[in-house]
Chains A and B, each alone.
Chain A
Amino acid sequence: MKDIIQSIREGDDRQVNTLYRSYRSEFHDWALKNFTASAEQVADAFQEAVVIFYLNVKKGKITTLDSTVKTYLFAVGRNVLSNKIRKENKTIYVDPDTGGVDSLAAERMTDPFEINDRQRMIAGALRKLGDKCHRLLKLFYYEGNSMEAIAIKMAFKNENVAKSQKLRCLRSLKEIIKTQ
């Protein structure tokens, strides 16, 4: 299962499904037994846990595992579920041990679902941006490509054309934000 880290880093997006399907039922049973939570809350928490783990690996924030993938997923899922219960139910919950889980490692992961108001506004504006600009900015800000690489991937004449296009796209984005 450790190969999964390499596969995700190499851009194999199918791994997100594999992770989800492999541990969904087990997490569901474990969480319902140990938490006072609804099935919907548990399902939601596990979906977020898989996404958090996946994106942290993909973006190089996790490069090796001290434990099994399952242990990580359960630790992240436990944290997400605890927060959900705290926010939604406002009740005391049992915080069970996930059995040798490195909860610190789980807490060190960046949570892509946690953003501030300005970032949420930018995220909304990005969804309204035209396809070409969205792709260009995604290649740069999400995938971390150089402008030279973007010029080739998007069939621009050269790097300078890609840079100018990027500035135009940022201007369009700011216009959308203004009108939101």
Chain B
Amino acid sequence: MNLSEEELALIEAYLRKELSADKMAEVEAKITDNPDWQEAIRLHQDLEKAFDYNEANRLKQHLKSAGIKKTPTYLRWAAAAVLLIFLTGVFYFISSTKDYQKQYEAFYQPYPNIENPQERGEETFDSAFLYYEASRYQEALKFLEKRKGNAARFYSGQCYLALEDYAAARNAFQSVDADDPTYGTVSVWYLALTELQLQNPDRAKELLQNFAIKPDYQEKAARLLKALE
């Protein structure tokens, strides 16, 4: 198979359906006529299947080992007793120090990139979101700081949260316009979580009670409020 780098890129763009209708037809004609192109397609598909197969087996092995780890019953009871004593201690520690880390960890999940998903293969690709998706938050921030708008402010807040700079995250989320249809209410959710990390549970509760959270977050907000009561 002797295809140029450009030809391979074209075949891959065809398989990912990233070409215009005309270009797709052009590639299809070439595939019909050229065995090298047919082989390139086959190799691409076989590589995808091979990776899926390896990943499936890796996950199956993981489940298998999770399912067969058995401990004698008496040891399990002993471990449970030790764990209970330990957890009781931890509970009293958490209660006495008013540490809201547990609730934060139970509810915090980084917000996915909805601005510029990688799968779309858009030409106007934004480096900020590439770094964001790669969890390279310091670098993402450098690009986000150059941008204006609610999306940039919201994702800056996300970066600061991931970097555990909660004061900066609070500033970023507070600067998002509350009536922004995409980022307005979801910023409130993350601001509430940020306030927990800043040991301000009352402010977090106030935010969760007074704002109309997006339907996706309603159930989570109710659970978090209950946990804070």
The 8 Å CB contact of A146, one of B57, B62, B121, is B121
List residues of B (19-51) whose CB comes within 8 Å of A's CBs.
44, 46-51
Interface SS of chain A: helix
Q: How many residues of B are counted as interface, with CB atoms below 8 angstroms from the partner's CB atoms? A: 36
Task: Judge whether B54 and A127 touch: CB under 8 Å.
Answer: yes
Task: Judge whether B53 and A119 touch: CB under 8 Å.
Answer: yes
Tell me the nearest residue of chain A to B52, going by C-beta.
A112
Task: Judge whether B60 and A20 touch: CB under 8 Å.
Answer: no
Q: How many residues of A are counted as interface, with CB atoms below 8 angstroms from the partner's CB atoms? A: 41
Task: Judge whether B50 and A43 touch: CB under 8 Å.
Answer: no
Task: Judge whether A16 and B109 touch: CB under 8 Å.
Answer: no
| A164 neighbours in B (Cβ, 8 Å) | 5
Complex-state Cα separation, A51 to B59, whole angstroms: 7
Task: Judge whether B51 and A141 touch: CB under 8 Å.
Answer: yes
- Verify if A145 is at the interface (C-beta below 8 Å from B): yes
| A24 neighbours in B (Cβ, 8 Å) | 67
Task: Judge whether A122 and B47 touch: CB under 8 Å.
Answer: yes
The 8 Å CB contact of B50, one of A47, A55, A115, A146, is A115
Which of A12, A145, A167 is the most central at the interface, judged by chain B CB atoms within 10 Å of its CB?
A145
Task: Judge whether A112 and B53 touch: CB under 8 Å.
Answer: yes
Q: How far is the CB of A1 from chain B (nearest CB, A)?
A: 12
Complex-state Cα separation, A55 to B62, whole angstroms: 14
Q: How far is the CB of B137 from chain A (nearest CB, A)?
A: 13
- Verify if B64 is at the interface (C-beta below 8 Å from A): yes
| A148 neighbours in B (Cβ, 8 Å) | 125, 130
| B14 neighbours in A (Cβ, 8 Å) | none
Q: How far is the CB of B136 from chain A (nearest CB, A)?
A: 8
Task: Judge whether A153 and B51 touch: CB under 8 Å.
Answer: no
- Verify if A163 is at the interface (C-beta below 8 Å from B): yes
Task: Judge whether B50 and A119 touch: CB under 8 Å.
Answer: yes
The 8 Å CB contact of B56, one of A10, A43, A55, is A55
| A48 neighbours in B (Cβ, 8 Å) | 56, 60
- Verify if B199 is at the interface (C-beta below 8 Å from A): no
- Verify if B85 is at the interface (C-beta below 8 Å from A): no
List residues of A (103-122) whose CB comes within 8 Å of B's CBs.
110, 112-113, 115, 118-120, 122
Task: Judge whether A17 and B125 touch: CB under 8 Å.
Answer: no
| B125 neighbours in A (Cβ, 8 Å) | 146, 148
